[in-house]
Chains A and B, each alone.
Chain A
């Protein structure tokens, strides 16, 4: 089976000369739950940006679902992000003064999905993350954990091939963090592909596989024999 994400010798050098990635190669299959781990400054977020078509590598080849970013025009890259990728950020990035429901609908605004289906789709994913009772609340009225669940619902609403989660529990207390991990684990059980970025060892142990990044290079790529249960 062809891997969903395939990176070969990925390098990324920023305009100021910083070499964030120095020849990263990895492949991720459909349905895998992979944690990318490393200390801060190791290049893991840069790697996620490249994997998520949010940024371009300086050299090397990266294919997502068989295509490189150069196969697409700029607006087509946006459509790939919209249809095939879901993002969960550490700082939630919800639109202020906008209800949870409307926040979740955001990717649908830029999709080809018929408008008549938007509400049902958004309500379904809000129900999936256990927020069906908070749909009309603004981010300001939600707790940190609830905000992150809205963000996960937003990442899920367009039924993407992969979910990229960048330190999703970084701004949460341990209980809320566990709730989020449980949702991610459940999504994996439902055959979703998940790429989790974290710097905390215990979180990565919920994944199937841990890729250790250090100084912009893959240090280790381990299969987790006995996964933690939430």
Chain B
């Protein structure tokens, strides 16, 4: 039989039982749609996180206290570790210790809200250096100025705020020169950052920066830092600088065995690799779950094809009586199964593309995330191949059963 007629015959076979065909491919549709969704969302999440990290610059190195977390349970010790102190910052600043380091900023997270004349708002308040933030994120004061090194030295009670913080507390009136309260202490607003939005892990519009010395002394009452961020003169010198930083801090902390480090260094590149591997592992895991679902769907296809073969026993007998060979019958039923599941794959790709677009659109529309819609072409191709393959593999047994029927028994079947 020619391919054209085989396709036509299979199509008529499927059209005859539209509802059943539809229900049969439901499992395939759900399975392949899930693959497309998982891959599309995985890719979107990876792009988002990588953008966030790369917004920080390839020449940035972060130093965190405590031991490098190996899993979620280790993150706590990082938050409560007090190993990074001002002495470390002073040592790292020395050209003789870390020659390629060009800028450094200790970071402290100040929890709680801020207020101005009864208006309260909860921005992300941090102790740091306004000048470092400005040059690292390329954001400049829209109003007023940044506080400087002298303010940091003097533990001045000054603050630079983001544009959203300004709107929330001051509305349309001027903010520069006004005093806001952070943890009960008065801070003079010296500058308001220009509108910028999300860069890296910070929403710059929603930031309030006070000198880290002030945060340590007056807001938190601690002598350590939550993180130290440094900038290297050239991304090519990152690896070397990491070694220099580690050597300097080990000497400062009297550590001889690197396994006992009470700090760890994170580069943008390492973070990118780590995120990629986590998302990759997650995608593989979810895809395996979907693969199991596809096998279950395949068993469903086999079941329905067996019913179909039984129902069409007489047709098989007739076709054989008029000259169909075993191979013709095998091919007919196999093609029918493959077309059925292949169609399921096509529907799933359209549905998966639509759903992943909806997810991307909703996330962009209703959150601050710059979620990028990605249509995973590789997943679509994989979907079509897998679904057709499921049809062929699980259609083989019923098709073989049909092809082996004797024409006499088949014709006499009621």
Contact = CB atoms under 8 A, between A and B. Distances in A.
B393 interface: no
Interface size class of A (residues with CB under 8 A): 20 to 34
A82 B407 contact: no
Contact of A82 (B2, B4, B323): B323
B319 A106 contact: yes
B12 A110 contact: no
A107, A110, A111 — most chain B CB neighbours (10 Å): A110
A225 interface: no
Contact of A110 (B1, B4, B408): B1
A87, A89, A95, A158 — most chain B CB neighbours (10 Å): A95
Contact of A95 (B315, B321, B325): B315
Nearest to B5: A109
A143 B234 CA distance: 89
A49 interface: yes
Interface string B1-41: 11011000100100010000000000000000000000000
Contacts of B411: 54, 89, 93
Contact of B323 (A74, A95, A111): A111
A140 interface: no
A78 interface: yes
Contacts of A188: none
A134 interface: no
Contacts of A68: none
A22 interface: no
A81 B322 contact: yes
Contacts of A49: 408
Nearest to B6: A109
A96 B314 CA distance: 11
B122 interface: no
Interface size class of B (residues with CB under 8 A): 20 to 34
Contact of B322 (A55, A87, A98): A87
Given A109-B1, A110-B1, A115-B2, A75 B12 contact: no
A158 B322 CA distance: 10
Interface string A188-225: 00000000000000000000000000000000000000
Interface string A51-82: 01011000000000000000000110011011
Interface string A123-148: 00000000000000000000000000
A96 to B, nearest CB: 8
B407 A93 contact: no
B153 interface: no
A56 B163 CA distance: 92
Contacts of A79: 323, 325
B227 to A, nearest CB: 72
Contacts of B1: 109-110
Contacts of B87: none
B322 A75 contact: no
Contacts of A154: 322
Contacts of B320: 78, 81
A115 B5 CA distance: 10
A98 B407 CA distance: 21
A81 B408 CA distance: 13
Given A83-B323, A95-B318, A110-B1, 10 more contacts: A54-B408, A74-B325, A75-B325, A78-B323, A78-B326, A89-B411, A106-B322, A110-B322, A110-B323, A115-B4
Interface of A: 49, 52, 54-55, 74-75, 78-79, 81-83, 87, 89, 93, 95-98, 106-107, 109-111, 115, 154, 158
Closest 7 CB pairs of A and B: A82-B323, A110-B323, A107-B322, A75-B325, A78-B325, A93-B318, A109-B1
29 contacts: A52-B321, A54-B407, A54-B408, A55-B406, A55-B408, A75-B325, A75-B327, A78-B320, A78-B323, A79-B323, A81-B323, A87-B322, A93-B318, A93-B411, A95-B315, A96-B16, A97-B12, A98-B12, A107-B322, A109-B1, A109-B5, A109-B9, A110-B319, A110-B323, A110-B324, A110-B325, A111-B323, A115-B4, A158-B323
